[in-house]
Amino acid sequence: MFNHIAPRYDFLNHLLSFGIDKIWRKRLIRGLLKKNPEKVIDVATGTADLAIALVKKSDTVYVDGVDIAEAMLTVGNQKLIKKKLDNRVKLRLASAENLPFSDYQYDACMVAFGVRNFENPLVGLTEIFRVLKLGGTINVLEFTTPKFFLVKFVYQFYFTKVLPFIGRKVSGHSTAYSYLPNSVERFKERNEFIDLLKQAGFEHASFKLQSFGIAAIYRAQKV
Ligand SMILES: C[S@@+](CC[C@H](N)C(=O)[O-])C[C@H]1O[C@@H](n2cnc3c(N)ncnc32)[C@H](O)[C@@H]1O
């Protein structure tokens, strides 16, 4: 599915989120940089938006990005070459559930709107835990379902009606943007996701809701 929508992904992403995702990404990066990481892994990197935002914020950081959709990586690589950042971000076709890296490699991991799509989130998180150094952090940005009824009503209408309609028209894919609300609904969020992080081995797990609870940034550490 992501291979199919790759050429339109960035455009639709920012359009459908009214650019709010950029604010969330900045917050995730600000928190991640607090520990001055040098080597970061961006899992489910897609078109490398987050990786690019990170290396633009820090001159010393290097990023390995992995994703299972080749077409998303192709778009990502084109952006990296255009921005002359291809020496600081390397993209690789690989699954979160089977990372092609040895243990204790990375100071930090980031995953934006990716965990929800993993075939087996616990296996993916355990793999991320494995490749992190001791003291390394995982930083996850993901949608959440808001609890407050008015926000929930607007959110659900937008997510289940408006977004699939525009997504279908622009991407030309009949189900990609209907898949989004379904996958968000199925995703184990908030404290359930904290439990999953703990099961994978992480400690000091916490989350911060964003924009009236329509997204959350989760952080945890390998100690
Ligand atoms: C919604 S996109 C997010 C991309 C990017 N992180 C961003 O913030 O724009 C989800 C991405 O997760 C990737 N993905 C899904 N399952 C994956 C897995 N098991 N391992 C690696 N990437 C995966 C998809 O191919 C897709 O590019």
Residue in the block written with tokens 């952080």:
219
- 6 exposed, middle or buried (CB, 10 Å; 0-12, 13-18, 19+)? buried
- Reading the block at residue 33, the tokens are 């940089």
Q: List pLDDT tens digits, range 8-49.
A: 888 878 877 888 999 999 999 999 999 999 999 999 999 999
Portion of the chain with pLDDT greater than 90, in percent: 72
Map tokens 């279908």 to a residue.
168
Give 34 or 166, the one with higher predicted confidence: 34
Ligand 1 in reach of 50 Cβ (< 6 A): yes
CA angle 184/111/82 to nearest 5° reads: 115
Nearest CA to ligand 1 atom 14: 44
**pTM, rounded to two decimals:** 0.94
- The helix (run of H) or strand (run of E) holding residue 102 is none
Ligand 1 atom with the shortest distance to the CA of 21: 8
Dist. CA 91 → ligand 1 center (Å): 12
Cα maximum dimension of the chain: 47
Gap between the Cα atoms of 170 and 205, Å rounded: 38
Mean pLDDT of 194-216: 97
Ligand 1 and 127: CB distance under 6 A:
no
pLDDT at 4: 85
Tell me if 55 sits within 8 A of 89, measured CB to CB: yes
Is the pLDDT assigned to residue 139 strictly greater than 80? yes
The percent of residues in the chain predicted with pLDDT above 70, rounded, is 100
* pLDDT value at 177 more than 80: no
In order of 94, 106, 122, 204, the CA distances from 127 in angstroms are 12, 12, 9, 18
Task: Tell me: pLDDT of 62 over 80.
Answer: yes
State the burial class of residue 28 (Cβ atoms within 10 Å of its Cβ: 0-12, 13-18, 19+).
buried
* Ordered structural domains, the chain, with CATH: 2-145+187-221 (3.40.50.150)
Which protein residue's CA is at the shortest distance from atom 13 of ligand 1?
Answer: 44
Nearest-atom index, ligand 1, CA of 72: 27
Looking at the predicted structure, is the pLDDT value of residue 181 above 80? no
Dihedral of the alpha carbons of 73, 74, 79, 84, in degrees to the nearest 10: 90
CB 55 within 8 A of CB 88: yes
Residue 194 reports pLDDT greater than 80: yes
Q: How far apart are the first and last CA of the chain?
A: 36
| Ligand 1: nearest atom to the Cα of 13 | 9
φ, ψ for residue 76, nearest 5 deg: -60, -45
- At 78, the pLDDT band (50, 70, 90 cuts) reads very high
* E strand map for the chain: 39-43, 62-67, 89-93, 106-112, 132-143, 203-210, 215-221
Quote the CA–CA distance of 116 and 120 in Å, as a whole number: 9
Q: How confident is the model at residue 1 (pLDDT cuts 50, 70, 90)?
A: confident
- Band of residue 184 on the pLDDT scale cut at 50, 70, 90: confident
95 Cβ inside 6 Å of ligand 1: yes
What pLDDT does residue 50 have? 97
Statement: residue 159 has pLDDT above 90: no
Angstrom distance (rounded) from CA 206 to CA 52: 25
Mean pLDDT for 170-180 is 77
167 lines ligand 1 (CB under 6 A): no
According to the model, what pLDDT value does residue 125 have? 98
Evaluate: CB of 164 within 6 angstroms of ligand 1: no
Mean pLDDT, all residues of the chain: 93
**Distance (Å, whole) CA 70 – CA 92:** 9
pLDDT tier, 174 (very low <50, low <70, confident <90, very high otherwise): confident
